[in-house]
Amino acid sequence: MKHVVTINKANLKASAEKGGCGKCQSSCQSACKTSCTVANQKCEAER
Amino acid sequence: MIHKFKQLGYNIVLDTESNAVHVMDDCAYDMLDLISAPMNEQMPEIFLTMLRDYPENDVRETYQDLYELYQNGSLFAPDDYQKYSDTMVKSPVKSMCLNVAHDCNLRCGYCFAQTGDFGGERCIMPPEIGKAAVDFLIKQSANRENLETDFFGGEPLMAWDTVVETVKYARSIEKQHGKRFRFTITTNGILLDDEKMKFIDAEMSNCVLSLDGRRETNDGIRKTMNGGGSYDIIVPKFQKVVEQRERAKKDYYVRATFTKNNLDFADDVIHLRELGFIQLSAEPVVTDEKQPFAITNADLPRIFSEYDRLCEYMADEKNPHFNFFHFMVDLDQGPCAIKRLRGCGCGNDYVAIEPHGDIYPCHQFVGIENWKMGNVKDGTLNADIKTYFAKTHIYSKKGCSGCWAKFYCSGGCNANSFIYEGDCRTPHTISCEMQKKRLECAIALEVNKAMKE
């Protein structure tokens, strides 16, 4: 492709099929705890 | 749904439902304004007129590139996640915040815990309650193995015996129950000494250190009980903690709060880096909008330009490296879509325990009687409140399903929504706007890294 560079794998849909195991950290989103936002967390499922 | 934005000189396109991030040249970026799903294989000829500033061959090629993305599911991917949210049920509890001290040895002007007492009496959690909370968590966690406990307050170092005894108790029984406890602590640092630092290094997987940046910023609001500044007391202690934790390869964050008083907060972040701290965070204050330091809609343009400034500073390789918590995003190995539907798990897989053992959905709900869920001493837990939060997700919150940021913020902070909007399912607009700006910066920094590799 000459006009577009894709930075990452588009894998969110696949993650829905196998997701929800609950092994990952909770992710408080309040401003007073630095454990904010979901997206910067890692998936901790055993692969 | 797509979201287009320009940051750090790149034309960036996020395809929300696939989570694909694309960098496009001007022709592709402009063409996207003319396209919506479903795409046809043949480009509409009118595009040649509408994009007349670009050579015809480029326009045709560009359309084929975009069509290829559409075909492979990374552009205009359909939103078919609601079926998962419809089946959301209660989860085991795997995480708890222990408010071990409803008391504090600082008097910070913006404290949401009302300088530590959460609007009630000043008190310390007895060790027996800490241990009962551990038993409660083990029992409520069902088959979850990784359990998190955050020592919070007020100021948790004021309840040091409870912290130590709770950790030792959890460690003594975790294996027999097939669990792994991960402890964290959030402290203002006043009571830190060598003994406590040693214990924290040994037992806490993360240590969050509160400091607002430059001396004048910090001391203007983080005051000691006699009204003096706290900067000079805290900074040397934090530098020692951080040196030890970096040596031990343990996580920490130095976290600042910014208010209307320091809308130039990028300078506070940069100052924290100058003090030698690498893992940094600066978060907008949560407070009553009537407070003089509260952030309001009128402050947003200034805050956005400050996030831009920080983003540009971090992208410039000549500047010292640091991680800024809110500009961190994992575009490849982030949480699964199921996790992203409802985010923090407040009131469902995460709860807060106050010093008497009363259970609340999270630390920000503590003291609000209607949200009391039970008590760790008798093991009660309100199933209706748990179910309410289990079903509070991006498809049940107002406006979230149509927002491009929904899989990154997962609907935002329920407590913020309740405190500001009176409803956990009505997101707080100012928080949303800041979150979206931070996400753009975070994605742009990842793009910048990838494009330079």
Condensed to tens digits (0 to 9), the pLDDT of residues A1-47 reads 899 999 998 788 888 888 888 888 776 655 555 544 566 677 877 64
Spell out the SS3 assignment of chain B: CEEEEEECCEEEEEECCCCEEEEECHHHHHHHHHCCCCCCCCCCCHHHHHCCCCCHHHHHHHHHHHHHHHHCCCCCCCCCCHHHHCCCCCCCCCEEEEEEEECCCECCCCCCCCCCCCCCCCEECCHHHHHHHHHHHHHHCCCCCEEEEEEEECCHHHHHHHHHHHHHHHHHHHHHHCCEEEEEEEECCCCCCHHHHHHHHHHEEEEEEECCCCHHHHHHHCEECCCCECHHHHHHHHHHHHHHHHHCCCEEEEEEEECHHHCCHHHHHHHHHHCCCCEEEEEECCCCCCCCCCCCHHHHHHHHHHHHHHHHHHHCCCCCCCEEHHHCCCCCCCCCHHHHHHCCCECCCEEEECCCCEEECCCCCCCCHHHCCEECCCCCCCHHHHHHHHCCCCCCCCCCCCCCCHHHHCCCCHHHHHHHHCCCCCCCHHHHHHHHHHHHHHHHHHHHHHHHC
Cβ separation of A3 and B24 shorter than 8 Å?
yes
Average pLDDT, integer, range B115-144: 91
pLDDT band at B117 (very low <50, low <70, confident <90, very high): confident
**How high is the pLDDT of residue A35?**
47
Q: B71-85, pLDDT tens digit by residue? A: 999 999 999 999 998
Q: Which of B364, B413, B447 lies at the smallest CB-CB distance from A7?
A: B447
Average pLDDT, integer, range B351-379: 95
Highest mean pLDDT: which range of A40-44, B274-278, B343-347: B274-278
State the complex-level ipTM.
0.90
B438 to chain A: which residues are within 8 Å by CB?
37
Query: Who has greater pLDDT, B268 or B89?
Result: B268
**How high is the pLDDT of residue B419?**
87
**How high is the pLDDT of residue B312?**
98
Quote the mean pLDDT of chain B: 94
A20 to chain B: which residues are within 8 Å by CB?
84, 336, 338-339
Cβ separation of B18 and A40 shorter than 8 Å?
no
pLDDT band at B111 (very low <50, low <70, confident <90, very high): confident
A25 to chain B: which residues are within 8 Å by CB?
95, 146, 148, 182
Cβ separation of B325 and A26 shorter than 8 Å?
no
Q: Which of B18, B330, B346 lies at the smallest CB-CB distance from A12?
A: B18
Q: Which of A2, A8, A27 lies at the smallest CB-CB distance from B61?
A: A2
